[in-house]
Amino acid sequence: MKKFMGFSILAAALALAWTTAVSGDWKAKVDPGVLAEAESGAVVECLILLDRQADVSGARQLKTKAEKGTYVWQSLQTVARQTQSPVKQVLEGAGIPYQSFCIVNAIYARVDVAVLQRLAGLDAVRQIQPNPWVKMEAPIVERGNEITLREGIEWGIERINADDVWAMGYTGQGIVIGGADTGYEWEHPAIINKYRGWDGATADHNYNWHDAIHSISPLHNDTMPTPDDNPCGLDVTQPCDDGFHGTHTMGTMVGDDGAGNQIGVAPGARWIACRNMERGWGSPVTYIEAFEWFLAPTNLENQNPDPSKAPHVINNSWGCPPVEGCNEMNFATMNAVVDNLKAAGIVVVVSAGNSGSNCESVDNPAAIFQNSFSVGASRPSGDTIAGFSSRGPVTVDGSGRMKPNVVAPGVSVRSCVPDTSYASFNGTSMAGPHVAGLVALLLSANPALIGDVETVETLIEQTAAPMRTNQMCGDISGLDVPNHTYGFGRVDALAAVEQALMLVNTGEPGLAENLVNVSPNPFDQELLVRFKELKGKVVFELYNASGQRVLRNELELQGGGEEKRIRTGNLSSGVYLYKVISGKRTFGGKVLKS
């Protein structure tokens, strides 16, 4: 899967999805559903997309996650500040409250048809999109679990060999996981000591919690909904779960109560969170607000955003299906949001959906996006796909994209739920957190990979246990790997971490930087290796992510800064480790094959 080509490909796709019709026809800029509702006399929720969007591609040239995050945040803020004034002036002139975003250059407001016309007539406005409220897929509860519930290490953790990684000393320490869900019971014994806002004695929710729920979903059946209808309330200043889903997913990522309930893949990691759904109902605006906060967390007054406090990985279990109001317009908008997070060095893990077992059932944002790392669900029996797990290819956007990327345990997953309890659920929402936890394990094992999203995703894919099926989806046989049922297979934390450790330069300090330069990165069928001071016989080797040597060249150097072109042939896409052996000195580095 050539994900590192995704930015240019998706940029073209987004430009097409965001293309508007005849200049001067204001109605052509407005979603037909929004227009019809406004013309009927209603005040409508809408997302006003600005024409100019920030170019954050320069982040790819930066080395650290901190540098990438700061660059992306500043670039996004600059474009929003330079372009949003005309829209704000119209809204302020009409006395209409609004919410401004920069992670995608857009403004949310509720407007009537007169204001809608004025906004659509602005040259600065590209489109006016709907903001549908969508019900999250509930976890599937089957009668009779496949395994007996127990205290101790859960089956999913053992199945992906996460406990073997703990034995190596890597538990996710130093890594921060972000959760976007129904909220979290932060004082649950399984997750309280993992919360970044808790030091063991006092709580500080600044930069660690955000509530994107400011109103009751209009799709509830309440005749006069009030904040009291929600068990948490609105705009709450400490984590609270108005359902059970978020607490359960966080437990699978980091949970361990110290008393036998070892439910989390990365118990050494810390977590921060945002509530982006109101009792399971969310909208593009609540999802976008949560993502923007993760990009640069703020204090509880939503002031002083700080991209250095962003998580390393975000887990997402929401979807926005066309049947509930999402369409090509807001597909593209949410896609851009995910792209910008990835550019900032943040891994975006998304549940693939519970609409299987037919092909083409991965059909909702954010699982459909190329730069989302989408996860299907496997079951204990036979280590096979769960019947409900959605399959590819992605056809709803015309891409035919391979999905899911991988699968992980998603049946009879026991984790924590509110009221300090535990429960077992089924769903791809239970599978995704296993992979978010795996990302934390990888980054704790090799911190040099922090911010290097492409390499992290490739490592997880290429070390997954290959899974095959007789089901053929699209034009790819289920007997091939990857396929549209399992992706690259069921994740294997031990194999992924072992390969991540291979990418650590264990040779002479500074040798690679001072004596050798390997380019381009990513490469196609040739590498250019520049030697500065090495002389005599030098061996250049290339290894794939499975540890197999795929190339060996013996070179004779005269010294004085020679360059050698090394043909690599038709290697498959992915991450490769190179080794340079010069006498008794050996060092290495990594390159990506496009």
CA-nearest of 183, 252, 186 to 413 is 252
For the chain, the farthest-separated pair of C-alpha atoms sits apart, in whole angstroms, at 84
Interatomic CA distance for residues 587 and 543, integer angstroms: 13
Rg (CA), the chain: 24
- What percent helix, strand, coil does the chain show, rounded to 5? 30, 25, 45
Higher pLDDT, 410 or 149: 410
Percent of the chain with pLDDT over 70: 88
Side chain identity at residue 128, one-letter code:
I
Question: Could you give the domains of the chain?
Answer: 3-134 (no CATH), 153-193+241-502 (3.40.50.200), 511-593 (2.60.40.3080)
Most confident of 122-136, 288-302, 306-320: 288-302
The predicted structure's pLDDT at residue 466: 95
Determine contact, residues 353/362, Cβ cutoff 8 Å. Answer: yes
The predicted structure's pLDDT at residue 138: 66
Q: Which segment of 57-71, 193-207, 216-230, 532-546 scores lowest on mean pLDDT?
A: 216-230
Average pLDDT over residues 538-548: 78
**H and E: helices and strands count for the chain:** 14, 24
Per residue in 460-472, pLDDT (tens digit) is: 998 999 999 999 9
Token reading at 41: 């006399």
CA-nearest of 540, 439, 446, 551 to 499 is 446
Q: How confident is the model at residue 186 (pLDDT cuts 50, 70, 90)?
A: very high
Catalytic residues: 181, 245, 429
The predicted structure's pLDDT at residue 150: 53
The predicted structure's pLDDT at residue 145: 45
pTM of the model: 0.84
The predicted structure's pLDDT at residue 281: 87
* H or E element that contains 515: helix 511-515
Q: How confident is the model at residue 5 (pLDDT cuts 50, 70, 90)?
A: very low
Side chain identity at residue 519, one-letter code:
S
User: What residues are paired with 238 via a beta bridge?
Assistant: none
Per residue in 555-579, pLDDT (tens digit) is: 888 876 788 899 998 888 777 888 8
Side chain identity at residue 161, one-letter code:
N
CA terminus-to-terminus distance, the chain: 9
The predicted structure's pLDDT at residue 148: 46
Per residue in 235-279, pLDDT (tens digit) is: 999 999 998 899 999 999 999 999 999 999 999 999 999 999 998
CA-nearest of 446, 471, 461, 465 to 391 is 471
Per residue in 38-91, pLDDT (tens digit) is: 999 999 999 999 999 999 999 988 989 999 999 999 999 999 999 999 999 999
Higher pLDDT, 572 or 485: 485
CA 436, 439, 445, 451 dihedral sign is negative
Q: Is the pLDDT reported for residue 288 higher than 70?
A: yes
Interatomic CA distance for residues 81 and 276, integer angstroms: 25
The predicted structure's pLDDT at residue 25: 86
Interatomic CA distance for residues 382 and 147, integer angstroms: 13
Higher pLDDT, 143 or 457: 457
The predicted structure's pLDDT at residue 506: 42
CA-nearest of 21, 37, 55 to 116 is 37
Token reading at 206: 């600044």
Interatomic CA distance for residues 237 and 227, integer angstroms: 14
The predicted structure's pLDDT at residue 514: 57
Strands of 494-548 (E only): list them. Answer: 516-519, 526-531, 536-543
Per residue in 332-390, pLDDT (tens digit) is: 899 999 999 999 999 999 999 999 899 999 998 899 999 999 999 999 999 999 999 99
Q: Is the pLDDT reported for residue 9 higher than 50?
A: no
* H or E element that contains 359: none
Interatomic CA distance for residues 266 and 5, integer angstroms: 30
